[in-house]
Chain A
Amino acid sequence: MADRFLAERAVSVVADRVREERRWSTPELLAVEQRLVTAATGRTGEQAARVSHQAVRDALAAHPTAGQDQQAMVRDLCQGGQGVAVVVGRAGTGKTFALGIARHAWQLDGYRLLAAAPTGIATISLQGEGFEEVATCDRLLGDLDRGREQLDARTVVVVDEAGMVGSRKLTRLLEHAEQAQTKLVLVGDDRQLARSTPAADSAPCGSASAPQN
């Protein structure tokens, strides 16, 4: 019966070479992830949330310890213009610190910053980098769905630890951002994948639970 299910309802996607185990997914989730990729790549030609050279210079000057990589990341995020920007890097490489500098540059040019992360603990790191409006992804999505939160072209949404956010939630967030022409910045470690425990549907609270896919 398991083999029948795999043959009729699943799609073989990858083989785990270490465990010598084939992995499968479902057409439903693959369609969601295709929409996610299409929504992200479809916004590459925008001029979303572009910051002046002066604002970037001022923000970098206020953070003299930023390394070359971090400065390049700030320039790319703030002046690249992509509707959806993706930053990938290992844990501990200073992504969140550089995000804080980018936050500074955007704010110098009058943009509103909304930051989110999949867990309460991750939102605390964002608060430490000067983000004032911070929420868990569940909370932000809930507020957007209910109309309690409004996005626009002068807002930048930053999602830290985005690799821990499930595909379905990320797709919903992308759809909200696309409708409002809001720049969305996804930051994460591609070796860190979404875990399997349900998320706390709450504001930052120090919870370490991870979201549903």
Chain B
Amino acid sequence: MDPDNLVREVTGRTPNRYQDWTVSAETAGRLFDRLAGRDGLTATASTFARPDVLVALGAGLAGTGRR
């Protein structure tokens, strides 16, 4: 069984195994600006830990273009 064919039959999509997941400097910069701003990581608390940053980065990047 070809997994890619199976995915295509079920979802109608073709998986792109060679997609570049690199986050562009522009996207990262915009996200960093947002997270460091008043509505970012300190919107509801004075301090944060590294895991909070990971979660916020994940949430910020989900669904955005990577390039």
Enumerate chain A interface residues (CB-CB to B < 8 A). Answer: 1-6, 8-10, 13-14, 16, 21-29, 33, 166-168, 193-198, 212-213
Contact = CB atoms under 8 A, between A and B. Distances in A.
A28 B36 CA distance: 7
A9 B49 contact: no
Contact of A1 (B28, B47, B49): B28
- 7 closest A-B pairs by beta carbon, nearest first, are A196-B44, A23-B47, A9-B36, A29-B42, A2-B53, A26-B36, A2-B54
Contacts of A195: 44
A70 B32 CA distance: 48
Contacts of B23: 1
Interface of B: 23, 28, 32, 35-38, 40-50, 53-54, 57
Contacts of B32: 5, 8-9
Contacts of A5: 32, 35-36, 53, 57
A3 B50 CA distance: 8
Nearest to A24: B48
Q: Which of A13, A196, A213 neighbours the largest number of chain B CB atoms within 10 Å of its CB? A: A213
A33 B23 CA distance: 33
Given A1-B57, A2-B53, A2-B54, A27 B36 contact: yes
A84 to B, nearest CB: 19
Contacts of B48: 10, 23-25
